[in-house]
Structure 1
Amino acid sequence: MGSMAPNRLVREPLQKGNSIDHLEYVDVTPIIGREYPTAKLKEMLTAANSDEQLRDLAITICERGVVFFRAPQDDLTVDEQKHITDLLGKLSGRPEENGLHVHPLYNDPNNLPMADGTTDKNMMARYVINSEAQKKLYATMKNRPGAGMEPRDLGREWHSDSLFENCPSDFSFLRMQDTPPAGGDTLWASGYEIFDRCSPPMQKFLESLTAECAQPVFKSACEAGKYDVMSPRGSPLNKEYEFAPHHPVVRTHPVTGWKSLFAGVGLHVSKIDGLYAYEDRWSGTM
């Protein structure tokens, strides 16, 4: 769980060492993504220089945007997965008072258990992804104005994780337990590259903007299900029904020092602050 940073760099970027240079890898594209076909996270966790390896892994993730481990990781327990995720944040400079995020709707009875039949407040909803469970969890979304009258806008599915929180997550760790024979893919885009492809005047304009990232569905879901929202959620800044923060559209990544489109478009962005309605609609197509 990371803290918000302004558009200026507030600390020196972290420099990656060579502790994981021995691992075989392939870059998915020149811009984003790295695959480790044989690396085992369990071995990284138990290595004599584990902290050094995980710190270099954290920096690699921040530089490449997303990292995939293709070899089976069945020997990695849920607690170890959580521990690794926690260390990725700690070793890359996360504020000491912050911990693993807790999903707001953990108390919902429609949440699916993990493969072993248990539930975990840090491993659900966003992580246990199931289309039928999602329909039940977010059933109140069908009551929003105009719902069901428009074709599904897949462009709205793009998002930066947990923008609805005052303090969004820094790392997410997706564990694939059960996958369909086809489909179910997740696409990734580089916020760095989006920003870099904008002209200098457009970059300057985007850096001047903030966006409201409201998610009222969490409150309506809790009210409909008659259960309490989880609070706090990883950071002490994430509490109660505070689901309408204003984040900068462009952020300087605190680990890499690179500027990235952060809260410009997608699922969790409700509007760009200060723009006229027609300008806001245009900005959502960028």
Structure 2
Amino acid sequence: MPSATSPPEWHRQPLQYSGSLDHLDYTEYSPIIGREYHTAKIKDILHAKNAEQQIKDLAITISERGVVFFRAPQDDLTIEEQKHFTDLLGKLSGRPEENGLHVHPLFRDENNIPMARTGRLTSTCMSSKFYVLNTEAHKKLFKSIPKNHSTEPKDLAREWHSDCLFEPCPADFSFLLMEETPKHGGDTLFCSGYELYDRISPSFRSYLETLTATCHQPAFKNASTAGGYEIMSPRGSPLNIGDDFAPSHPLVRTHPVTGWKTLCVVVGIHVSRINDVYDYEDKMIRDYMIRLITWNHDCIARMHWTKYSAAIWNNACVFHAATPDTQLVPGSVRIGVRTTSIGEKPYLDPNSKSRRESLGMPLI
């Protein structure tokens, strides 16, 4: 079983913000998580004279705040620019040099074709390195997943997750630009893994730091088998190959940009099993992790989407959940384009500290 406390040889010191974004108007979403830039245009950052410094500082800011919202319409940003910007966030913040943007495993599925018919896309920029969020196309793409015919209310706790945990090297930065939004509904919630870690008792935190979890996601292989096509490979990293989709990751990891400890693989559809514990203990731990989220709503930032607004988050330190309520809005359409950078293999440095410890804040 992989160790939960094995920093890589290339482990680096936390990055420091230089101040290159201080000219932008923003509001901290809450004391714990999130920032909203009110008027900033991502295209201006990308093409600034000091673009690399600004993008690096933005990557640091996102890593510290968990998620950053851009409220001004970003409709002037092309898909190619969105891809390039996402790639630079990971590259300039120190991810492994051989990594890049994630390639969706099911890109060869025929149901990906209608997913790429959105306002900013043309046939010349179709690519495996972005993912279009479209509710109806998503149903077709994952039609092989067994349907839940329960008459009970849906357990929305399953919506919480981090991107690409089914890969040996999961996502670092995800960039979602929403092109079509319903009149209301369809919000996305983000929860701080840093703060949840700090709200666990020190003795229990120490135990969680010894554990790993298997992130088995059979839906991709099932879909490719049913559709008769090959899984895409590699997918943003030389380590993300094949069709097993069952890596083990530490429950607690060290964030490579900030150096802070954060909860990692504790909730969501990608987490299938906590390793080396009995069944009841597995359920007990995961139920407690969900309870932490519901107990601590001050750890949550909620993005109400407006047309062409954007959110960029760091999957190493936040969980997110889409609110599945758009079916309640007649004629609702929710289409967004997501690009995702692939980071390093998660690790825990036993010498790293929590966010509150590093910032000299009280633990309670």
Shorter-chain TM band: over 0.9
Structure 2: distance between partners of 1:78 and 1:155: 32
- Distance between the aligned counterparts of 1:248 and 1:114, measured in 2? 38
2:207 to 205, 208, 233: 205
Residue of structure 2 in register with 1:223 after alignment: 225
Q: 1:103 to 1:28 in 2, by over 3 A?
A: same
Q: Is the 8 A contact 1:7 1:207 kept in 2?
A: no
Given that residues 37 and 71 in structure 2 are in contact (C-alpha distance below 8 angstroms), is that contact kept between their aligned partners in structure 1? yes
Deviation at 1:226, TM superposition (A): 1.2
CA–CA separation in structure 2 for the residues paired with 1:194 and 1:285: 14
TM-superposed CA distance for 1:117, in Å, is 4.6
2:195 aligned partner: 193
**8 and 96 in structure 1: CA distance in 2 versus 1, 3 angstrom threshold:** closer
Shift of 1:114: 3.7
- State which of 117, 130, 142 in structure 2 corresponds to 1:123: 130
Task: Say whether 1:281 aligns with 2:288.
Answer: no
Within a 5 Å distance, the mapping from 1:52-91 to structure 2 comes to 52-91=53-92
Structure 2 runs not aligned, ≥5 long = 289-364
Which residue of structure 1 aligns with residue 138 of structure 2? 134
- TM-score using structure 1 length: 0.93
Tell me the secondary structure at the aligned position of residue 217 of structure 2.
Answer: coil
Offset from partner CA, 1:207-266 (integer Å, 9 cap, x none): 111000000111000011111111110101001203000000000000001100000111
TM-score scaled by structure 2? 0.73
The residue that corresponds to 1:173 in the other structure is: 175
1:121 maps to amino acid: S
Structure (1/2) with the larger strand percentage = 2
Percent identity between matched residues is: 60
Q: Which amino acid aligns with 1:285?
A: D
Counterpart residue identity of residue 18, structure 1: G
Return the offset for 1:5: 9.0
Q: Distance in 2 between matches of 1:117 and 1:19?
A: 34
Deviation at 1:120, TM superposition (A): 2.0
* C-alpha deviation, 1:148, in angstroms: 2.4
Q: Deviations over 1:96-146 (max 9, x none)?
A: 11110001011111121141354321111xxx2122111111111116xxx
Across the aligned residues of Structure 1 and Structure 2, the Cα RMSD in angstroms comes to 1.6
- Residue correspondences, number: 277
Of 129-138 and 57-66, the range deviating more from structure 2: 129-138
Preserved contact between residue 14 and residue 256 of structure 2 (Cα < 8 Å): yes
Q: Which amino acid aligns with 2:116?
A: P
* Corresponding letter in the other structure for 1:107: R
Structure 2 residue aligned with 1:158: 160
SS at match of 1:170: strand
Equivalent position SS for 1:195: helix
* 2: CA distance, partners of 1:247 / 1:176: 30
- 1:48 is aligned to 49
Contact kept in structure 2, 1:7 and 1:252, CA below 8 Å: no
Q: Is the aligned partner of 1:148 residue 2:139? A: no
Does the 8 Å contact 2:5/2:210 carry over to 1? Answer: no
